[in-house]
């Protein structure tokens, strides 16, 4: 096992908190919850990346036997680069715990994910995990979901028809674009359409409607998936009822 050191996350003892420190704190709390011999789902995004680095460090220092499953190509490469053992999801018969970030989370630990376009693999890994831990800074906590646009992953074939339908549902769809102006393509070869859910009263129903739409592969509403929310700035661990 070879840990390739990249970052020093020791936090300043005094001084103001910033979002990055809060992400580090949440990631540090999550690492403490990973037991030896665990099969760990690795989320995607900046907070999950800090967790991955810290997990690799801990596994190396404590000679832990950790097997990982990744939620994106980027995460897989990152974890392998830190010396973690990463296997295909179908090579394991269980995932003990997954640690991931979130774009937005409410008081019931429901959330929006997919800001990094990894929502499909994230949801597959999460729904096959015994326990899901989300690591966030408090800017992600909202009473009601919707300040963040909801990502919807759609197959390329016929995508404009799905887009037009979403318009008729008053979801104000926009295609997610790359910097060069082309539509972003996910790890699964699909497009992302981001929608505005501020006018939607019944989010569980919206989740069902989106899922039932032909051409939609997945959406970023994660309902009843997160078990534990770790909030960096407050140091809080909030458990699902
Ligand atoms: C990627 C995700 C991320 O978890 C989410 O975007 C949060 O990322 P960050 O930790 O960088 O704020 O859902 O698809």
Residue 2: which pLDDT band, with cuts at 50, 70 and 90? low
Pocket of ligand 1 (CB under 6 A): 43-48, 100-103, 113-119, 122
- Which comes out higher in pLDDT, residue 12 or 123? 123
Q: What does the pLDDT read at residue 9?
A: 73
- pLDDT above 60 for 52: yes
Transcribe 57-75 into DSSP letters.
HHHHHTT---EEEESSHHH
Distance 179 CA to ligand 1 centre (A): 18
- pLDDT above 60 for 12: no
Report helix, strand or coil for 177.
Answer: strand
**Which residues sit in the known binding site for substrate?**
44-47, 100-103, 113-116, 140
Which residues, including other chains, have CB under 8 Å from residue 177's CB and lie 6 or more apart?
183, 184
Query: Active site residue: 32, 61, 104, 122, which one?
Result: 122
Distance 205 CA to ligand 1 centre (A): 24
- pLDDT above 90 for 192: yes
Q: What does the pLDDT read at residue 157?
A: 98
Which residues, including other chains, have CB under 8 Å from residue 150's CB and lie 6 or more apart?
112, 114, 194, 195, 196, 197, 219, 220, 221
The interaxial angle of helices 19-32 and 46-61, nearest 10 deg, is 40
Ligand 1, atom 8, lies closest to the CA of 45
- Tens of pLDDT, residue by residue over 96-141, are 999 999 999 999 999 999 999 999 999 999 999 999 999 999 999 9
Q: What does the pLDDT read at residue 16?
A: 53
Question: Is 62 one of the catalytic residues?
Answer: no
| Predicted TM-score (pTM) above 0.80 | yes
Ligand 1, atom 6, lies closest to the CA of 115
Sheet holding 221-222, edge to edge: 104-105, 111-112, 221-222
Checking ipTM against 0.90, whether it exceeds it is yes
Q: Report the chain's C-alpha Rg in angstroms.
A: 18
Distance 42 CA to ligand 1 centre (A): 12
Residue 8: which pLDDT band, with cuts at 50, 70 and 90? confident
Average pLDDT, the chain: 94
**Which residues sit in the known binding site?**
44-47, 100-103, 113-116, 140
Q: Mean pLDDT across the stretch 71-85?
A: 98
Q: What does the pLDDT read at residue 219?
A: 98
DSSP element (H, E) containing 40: strand 39-42
């Amino acid at each position: 096992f070879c840990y390739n050191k990249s970052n020093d996350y020791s936090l300043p003892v005094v001084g103001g908190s910033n979002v990055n420190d809060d992400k580090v704190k949440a990631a540090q709390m999550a690492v403490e919850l990973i037991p030896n011999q665990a099969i760990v789902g690795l989320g995607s995004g900046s907070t999950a990346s800090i967790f991955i680095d810290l997990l690799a460090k801990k596994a190396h220092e404590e000679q832990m036997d950790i097997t990982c499953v990744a939620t994106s190509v980027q995460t897989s490469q990152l974890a392998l680069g830190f010396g973690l053992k990463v296997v295909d999801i179908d090579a394991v018969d269980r995932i003990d715990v997954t640690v991931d970030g979130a774009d937005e989370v409410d008081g019931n630990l429901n959330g929006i994910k997919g800001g990094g376009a990894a929502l499909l693999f994230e949801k597959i890994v999460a729904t096959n995990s015994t326990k899901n831990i989300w690591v966030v800074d408090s800017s992600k906590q909202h009473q009601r979901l919707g300040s963040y646009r909801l990502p919807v992953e759609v197959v390329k074939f016929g995508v404009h028809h799905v887009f037009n339908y979403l318009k008729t549902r008053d979801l104000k769809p926009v295609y997610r674009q790359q910097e060069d102006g082309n539509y972003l393509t996910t790890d699964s070869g699909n497009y992302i359409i981001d929608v505005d859910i501020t006018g939607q009263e019944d989010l569980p129903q919206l989740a069902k409607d989106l899922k039932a739409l032909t051409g939609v592969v997945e959406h970023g509403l994660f309902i009843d998936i997160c078990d534990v929310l770790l909030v960096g700035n407050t140091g809080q661990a909030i458990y699902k009822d």
